[in-house]
Chain A
Amino acid sequence: MPHPRLPDRLSACAAKHRSLCLAVSGSVTAALSIACEWRSFGPSPFAASVNVAVALAFVLTAAMLNGEETLGSVTGALALGGLLWPLSWTAGWETGPSALLSTFAYSHFWICIGWGVLRYPTGRLRNNGERALLAAAVLIIPLASLGLIGISRPAWFGYRENSDVWWYGSPIDIGTFHLVVDVLDVLTVALSVLFLLVVRNRLRRYSELDRRIFRPVALALLVAFLIAATINAVAYNPSSPYIGPEFAAVSLTLLTIPLAFAAAVLRRVFVRARIAQQLATLPNPPTVGAVQSALRNALDDDSAEILLWLPEEEHHVDATGTTRRPPGPHAADVITELRTSTGSPLAMIIAAPAMRRNRDLVTAAVQTCVLALENARLHATVAAQLDAVRSSRARLVEAGLHERRRLERDLHDGAQQRLLALATRLGLARTKATDPDTISAIDAAREDLRHALADLRSLARGIHPAQLSQGGLRPALEAVTNTLPLDVGLDVTTERFSAVLEAGVYYTICEALTNTVKHAGAAHAVVTVSRVGEVVRAVVADDGKGGATTVDGGGLAGLTDRVRALGGTLEITSPSGGGTRLVADIPCDPPATASSGWSGTAVTAPRVRHVVPLDEGGIDPCG
């Protein structure tokens, strides 16, 4: 049995000098085919020409595919098949060893093609079943054919009665001979069907990519096998210069095999193009999840994974942001390490073991990923830092709010109650006193104490109005506006929101009213707070002189910061002479921080409650 794979050195040399190799192998094959069939061109010129074309197509295709990684294991079989096929037609010489040569070549041609298919794509037979199938094929096709010669006459094989072909053995009874032939024919058909089942089973276990590439080749081979097996039932091997229409049909079918290989090569080109295209349509900024799904799509490998290296954390994360340990160097998976343009580690790409055969495609895909991944990591890093800043600010502000409440409670329970107890004692002293001097002294003390209590109350209210936590925005804002030297109309929803949102809206409105009192020269103001869908809208409008502008560090800039910290927007309309109108839209349910970028689908960042920084500056009308 010949080894269907060309020696590696020859293969490498042929790949290096492809055009020379094509020219030489083409001429040799053409010369050989014509020589083998020189007697057939007369009686059946069409079939003979087709046979030359088949031999050429096989050999040239093998030369072309030589070096193609996935198809390498079948190129040898193709090349050998391309030589065996014309040798089969030496039968037309009808002299000397031609009959033996033809029988040998024709039967081995099919074994060679079958073996090539079974070797795809690993270059090895998969199991004993396949080995048994091949052994049976060798036994039934070439050995039986050569054996049949030993028990027959050339005429029984279709050779002319008086031909001087070499023959051996002694003929048996012709009836028994035909029985043996019939049995072998049935076995051959059965073999073809078994082969078909094995290949189908194989195709099923291929990766999607391999399947897509090899399917047309397998199909063409199978059709050729079935036709050949069927013809075998009505005709023997080639045995005369005349090539019957049945053999012409087989030849035409064989021509589709190189075409199918060409289709397979084209498909690989398409796959490469698709990878480039998929990665070109990534969102901007790309997420690791998006790059990964593009890669999976391109490679038809749903297990392909990208593990991004985070230099600061010094570990890998997968597309969902979960920390992952990359597989070791001995893992079965195909692992590709990616580096940034500056050479630092970027990511690891892990593909299914089956992708080893399509390493070139994986590499092509992976190379196009580098920029997108680098971009994604940068974006994710910035997003993560922003997250950290936001949540730290949120914690600070919540702590601030908590501290304000505690201070107010301490004032209420401590200093205020102590001073109020003092008031009862002064009241008692006042009832007991009879001396006018004492009475006036006590009255003065009472007066001072009332001022002290009023001051303290003001201070406590400015720190945190108890009404805000208890009754919400409406009563708290009523308490504020009642004390302002300005007529304020209030239209405030009674709906309650989170403490942080309420505090944010409250201080925003207080600050806006402070500005109105200080700068606007207004007689009236209107404050409305309402819920518009998922947004709380606070509007503060006055009839003052307008012309308010935002300057760095000024009151309006502070207001804008305050509203932005709550994830909201602030719009200020202040035409000169036309009053000032502030509209703050603040989301009721603060959005999670922008997608951290680890994944296109799942946001893995913890939800951060946006809170307002409590600004101590300026006059606080709430005080």
Chain B
Amino acid sequence: MRVVIADDSTLFREGLAMLLTSSGVEVVAQYADANELVQGLPETRPDAVILDIRMPPTFTDEGLVAAERIRVQHPGTAVLMLSTYAETPYALRLLGDGSGGLGYLLKDRVDDVGALQDALRRVAEGRLVLDEEIVAGLLAHRRHSDELARLTPRERSVLGHMAEGRSNQGIGSRLHLAPKTVENHIAGVFNKLGMPASADDNRRVLAVLTWLRAAGVGTGEPLAAAGRPTGPAATGVRGGQATDTSPFG
């Protein structure tokens, strides 16, 4: 697999390149600046790019802006964001268009080359990947909801893995469950949460994320924080949230 990396921290960037190279990933180029990475894409032609979010010149969301450009200009190139912080709004802004080949992981994950390779492979395959910390935050956010309380512990962990972007097979291997059993759990989750079932894995991830994110008060726009179109799946989920009202008025 060919990857290019953009991160303004030389120390981290080179460590990451070394780690990836040692595990058989070909690091075609490294950049300290996201724009240079985007400009070099016609020559480097990677399978995936690895981007930091805070980069020069403003150290705010350059990485996200570059990712959005790559989605438009090079739709076949997978994008994996590696960020110091797990920011739910950023993740949703990134994944919001509902198409695959995107991932958002904490930089901390680089100590596990297997997980990193797995994430790279999944985004290269066109799937969505979301850091477990973001999913954990979203689950914590809904921990008091009645619907979540109705799930069995097993169903809750299946829900978490779904949100991280794993396929039925991936969930099965993580939880040591047979594919049939995983399917049953997923059906149970969708049924209990009143989410529309989706055959498309990526839409399924978005539906789960959207449900998890829906706040206790009826903002009506669970994804609007990032100011992005939320896609049909998200809209469908939103439409089903009749019970989301203020817990105490």
Q: Which residue of A is nearest B144, CB measured?
A: A487
Q: Are A420 and B225 in contact (CB under 8 A)?
A: no
- Measured between beta carbons, the chain A residues less than 8 angstroms from B84 are 412, 416-417, 420, 457
- Measured between beta carbons, the chain B residues less than 8 angstroms from A425 are 15, 19
Tell me the B207-222 residues at the A interface (CB within 8 Å): 215-219
- Measured between beta carbons, the chain B residues less than 8 angstroms from A423 are 15, 107-108, 110-111
- Measured between beta carbons, the chain A residues less than 8 angstroms from B116 are 427
Q: Are A418 and B11 in contact (CB under 8 A)?
A: yes
Question: In the bound complex, how far is the Cα of B108 from the Cα of A119, in angstroms?
Answer: 101
- Measured between beta carbons, the chain A residues less than 8 angstroms from B248 are 524, 526, 541, 543, 579
The reply to whether the CB of A470 lies closer than 8 angstroms to some CB of chain B is: yes
Q: Are A528 and B225 in contact (CB under 8 A)?
A: no
The reply to whether the CB of A494 lies closer than 8 angstroms to some CB of chain B is: yes
- Measured between beta carbons, the chain B residues less than 8 angstroms from A543 are 247-248
Question: In the bound complex, how far is the Cα of B116 from the Cα of A554, in angstroms?
Answer: 47
Instruction: Say whether chain A's binding surface is mostly helix, strand, loop, or mixed.
Output: helix
The reply to whether the CB of A523 lies closer than 8 angstroms to some CB of chain B is: yes
A469-496 vs B, CB cutoff 8 Å, 1 = contact: the mask equals 1110011001101110111111100100
Tell me the B33-73 residues at the A interface (CB within 8 Å): 54, 59-61
Q: Are A420 and B12 in contact (CB under 8 A)?
A: yes
Tell me the B100-127 residues at the A interface (CB within 8 Å): 107-108, 110-113, 116
The reply to whether the CB of B88 lies closer than 8 angstroms to some CB of chain A is: yes
Q: Are B112 and A466 in contact (CB under 8 A)?
A: no
Q: Are B61 and A470 in contact (CB under 8 A)?
A: yes
- Measured between beta carbons, the chain B residues less than 8 angstroms from A416 are 84
Q: Are B89 and A467 in contact (CB under 8 A)?
A: yes
Of B19, B137, B144, B216, the residue contacting A424 (CB under 8 A) is B19
Q: Are A524 and B12 in contact (CB under 8 A)?
A: no
* Chain B interface residue count, Cβ-Cβ cutoff 8 angstroms: 46
Interface size class of A (residues with CB under 8 A): 35 or more
The reply to whether the CB of B180 lies closer than 8 angstroms to some CB of chain A is: no
Q: Are A446 and B111 in contact (CB under 8 A)?
A: yes
Given contacts A487-B247, A524-B144, whether A449 and B88 have CB atoms under 8 Å apart is no
Q: Are A482 and B12 in contact (CB under 8 A)?
A: no
Q: Which residue of A is nearest B116, CB measured?
A: A427
The reply to whether the CB of B246 lies closer than 8 angstroms to some CB of chain A is: yes
- Measured between beta carbons, the chain B residues less than 8 angstroms from A491 are 215, 217-219
Given contacts A478-B88, A543-B247, whether A487 and B111 have CB atoms under 8 Å apart is no
The reply to whether the CB of A428 lies closer than 8 angstroms to some CB of chain B is: yes
Question: In the bound complex, how far is the Cα of B107 from the Cα of A457, in angstroms?
Answer: 11
Q: Are B16 and A489 in contact (CB under 8 A)?
A: no
Question: In the bound complex, how far is the Cα of B224 from the Cα of A394, in angstroms?
Answer: 34
- Measured between beta carbons, the chain A residues less than 8 angstroms from B224 are 494
- Measured between beta carbons, the chain B residues less than 8 angstroms from A523 are 144, 247
The reply to whether the CB of B194 lies closer than 8 angstroms to some CB of chain A is: no
Q: Are A526 and B111 in contact (CB under 8 A)?
A: no
Give the Cβ gap from A22 to chain B, nearest Cβ, in Å.
89
Q: Which residue of A is nearest B134, CB measured?
A: A482
Of B9, B19, B61, B226, the residue contacting A427 (CB under 8 A) is B19
- Measured between beta carbons, the chain B residues less than 8 angstroms from A428 are 15, 18-19, 22, 113
Give the Cβ gap from A453 to chain B, nearest Cβ, in Å.
5
The reply to whether the CB of A450 lies closer than 8 angstroms to some CB of chain B is: yes
Q: Which residue of B is nearest A411, CB measured?
A: B84
**Complex A-B: 7 CB contacts under 8 Å:** A409-B59, A417-B9, A425-B15, A427-B19, A487-B144, A528-B217, A543-B248
12 further A-B pairs in the complex, CB-CB below 8 A; given A425-B19, A474-B89, A479-B87: A412-B54, A417-B9, A420-B15, A427-B111, A450-B108, A475-B89, A482-B88, A482-B141, A487-B143, A488-B141, A491-B215, A526-B246
